[in-house]
Structure 1
Amino acid sequence: MMDLKHSRSVKLNDGHFMPVLGLGTGASDEVPKGKTREAVKVAIDVGYRHFDASYVCQNKEEVGQAVREKIADGTVKREDLFYTTKLWATFFQPELVRPALERSLKELQLDYVDLFLINVPFAMKALEKCKDAGLTKSIGVSNFNHKQLEMILNKPGLKYKPVCNQVECHPYLNQSKLLEFCKSKDIVLVAYSALGTQRDPKWVQEDSPHLLEDPVLKEIAKKHSRNPGQVALRYQLQRGVVVLAKSFNEKRIKGNFQVFDFELTPEDMKAIDGLNRNFRYIKLEFAVHHPWYPFSEEY
């Protein structure tokens, strides 16, 4: 259970702790690499301790550089930070998993990551070996539906349960059934695209609704003297979801961190629950016909 007042972390099923609010560092091609480095440094100064990267972003060197600079100037220690990386789909053969993680560590110039995620249910054994080798503290999954999670949890000889399932989650796609399922298995749900998403034409359709323009969110924000983004983030924290907020704008990075000093009422929570329309920004359409396409299930 998250204790938002005293601790800003949640205990994972392997005993490690994950900060409940993280900075997503995935950037579109338009974002200059130097901007990532600056954003991470600002975020560390503001108080973020959880950073999430994906293989596709190709900006790990910048993230690693920012982290090393903030360690060198004494702002943080390595063990204060929680860093997540993902295995990209081309490396799922078991023998490619460890070299892929080692390449990430080399780019980051770090000895280990805190969490290593996979997107399809193949490479679990190889992931477990990375944990045993100390290259990652925890292992988890991303974009799994409940059937894929069941499959992993029932795997004969499973050594480590995934600590989390990282999925798209926001008021228009609140994932309430998947959240209940994950809670029942002691797996943390981690929300990406929690503020809707930037309209990157590579992933998101132009005519997608603007989450942060939603009148209900705006109304609740006004009542608490907040902005709709802060309300959307706080909503996730109060339902026990770890949330990633992506921004490269200094003002927004700071604003998104101001979610620990106000509370949504049960009526607010219910009103936000009512916005759910099972709308996905990121549909991964290139994989629709793949047997492991995760979004054909209800949850």
Structure 2
Amino acid sequence: MEPASLLPSIIFAGLVRVMLMLYGLWHDANFTVKYTDVDYYVFTDAASHVIHGESPYSRATYRYTPLLAWALIPNIYVHQCFGKVIFIVCDILAAVLIHKILRSQSCSAQSSVFCAQLWLFNPITITVSTRGNAESVMSVLVLIALHYFTKNTTLQSLVVASVTYAISVHVKIFPATYAVAIYFYVNSKYFNHQPVFSVMPNRYRVLAGVIGATTFAVLTGLCYLMYGYEFLHETYLYHVIRQDTRHNFSAYFYLFYLLPDVSWLSAAVFVPQLFLILLSSYHFYEDLIFTCFINTFVFVTFNKVC
């Protein structure tokens, strides 16, 4: 089976998503419970504040990078579904990247297409993007970074991977859990496909670190200059101190419910996450993609808001 055989699936999956997006317009106009994700209304309201020269954080519960509000300004000027189109495109691109990554890892064409189809026709991914959730943007950023980190061909690949990874961390902090694994993976044997464990810095690690840190600092610094401490608090710090007993899928839900006034508890629950992430990063770093999956799984499983 040739890689091009993914194209019919992409076209069909795209049509399904567009149909659901259009259905959402009708559903929202005729039902009390909306098809559109409540966060999409938050994004759009934040974009409206930006248009009027205000902070996107003037919209209550907007706790994202201002880049998202800026990107969705066409929701106001062009059409309310503009952002959904962007999220759908990113959703499709994620499947293409899954296919490319698997092919670069020597998976068969048939297996690579099948795995991409699992993403394309997964009801969850379809629903998430068509309802207006921005997670597909994060998926694309992380997959681009992983593709270029594992491509192992040129110095340019390492630069692209580092920049994209830094952008993903700026947009949403959870990819920071991959940092230690990436550090171990990028070593003196990086371009020879022979990862050797070492904690010592080398030119590849320094290059990746400097480029990534600079990219993150520039993006975060610009946002801070525009919106000050409010940006830092709402985008990053809020998630560190947050306790929410309404999200009762968290392993810590009942603990927070019983001890709502213990201020240090919110920070203490990060310890199991940190320990397991460091452990998996050390044991599995040679397979970077698998390690990132494990670290994401650990992050979600032991997240205090779930």
User: Do they superpose with TM above 0.5?
Assistant: no
TM-score, L = length of structure 2 = 0.29
Greater percentage in strand: 1
TM-score, L = length of structure 1 = 0.29
Greater percentage in helix: 2
